[in-house]
Structure 1
């Protein structure tokens, strides 16, 4: 056996940064609530704000953060913008984390 076979492969810096950004997104309760809602269906900013009882500016700020990470996407219908999930991997991670939390 070659001694190099026992070495652990180290993540490259770009992957490491992206992973940390995903966990950063999932570390904020408001963003978790928004992602959870969007895992069910698409919502407008106003619908999210009303459902979560938050200011529209707060929701917009968090959606911008999530959009920059490409975790959510949007579509415009006349003057309304609708948001939905854009990364099923992260949605699965969120669902598994919720399941884990509920069982502990």
Structure 2
């Protein structure tokens, strides 16, 4: 059974993702049920276009709720609501700057998922 630490994703020269398995693992091996449920939950977060817009707005920069709302053409209330879901999924992080809260992508994995997803739908 593979775990999160058993599998690594690598981007090859053509910009395609390939999966690297540790020695003894086989590419066709099914992850355990808990990992599959976690993955399904993660993909479910990507099912809302407002959340996708927010993630793209945050690519490579930090923004406050008002700026995200302006960038995405969404109300601040809707942005705050969707940011809560994105935080729970560990896709965005935030820091307080006085009374302001500034958001950014949680890590490079989020950037990779977005860019690879967009590449896939554009093929």
User: Could you say which TM-score interval applies, normalised by the shorter chain?
Assistant: 0.7 to 0.9
Distance 2:59 2:40 in 1: 21
Q: What secondary structure sits across from 2:30 in the alignment? A: coil
Structure 2 equivalent of residue 101 of structure 1: 121
Q: Does 1:54 align with 2:74?
A: yes
Structure (1/2) with the larger helix percentage:
1
Distance 1:20 1:63 in 2: 19
Structure 2 equivalent of residue 69 of structure 1: 89
Distance 2:35 2:111 in 1: 18
**TM-aligned CA deviation for residue 97 of structure 1:** 1.2
Structure 2 equivalent of residue 85 of structure 1: 105
Give the structure-2-normalised TM-score. Answer: 0.72
Q: What secondary structure sits across from 2:94 in the alignment? A: strand
Where do 5+ consecutive residues of structure 1 fail to align? 1-5
The answer on whether the counterparts of 2:57 and 2:72 sit within 8 Å (CA) in structure 1 is: no
The answer on whether the counterparts of 2:68 and 2:79 sit within 8 Å (CA) in structure 1 is: yes
Residues 31-73 of structure 1, C-alpha deviations (whole Å, 9 max, x = no match)? 1111111112111011001111211110011100000011100
The answer on whether the counterparts of 2:64 and 2:101 sit within 8 Å (CA) in structure 1 is: yes
| Off by >4 Å, runs of 4+ in structure 1 | none
Structure (1/2) with the larger strand percentage:
2
Where do 5+ consecutive residues of structure 2 fail to align? 1-25
Q: What secondary structure sits across from 2:60 in the alignment? A: coil
With 10-19 and 77-86 compared, the bigger mean Cα shift is at 10-19
Give the structure-1-normalised TM-score. Answer: 0.84
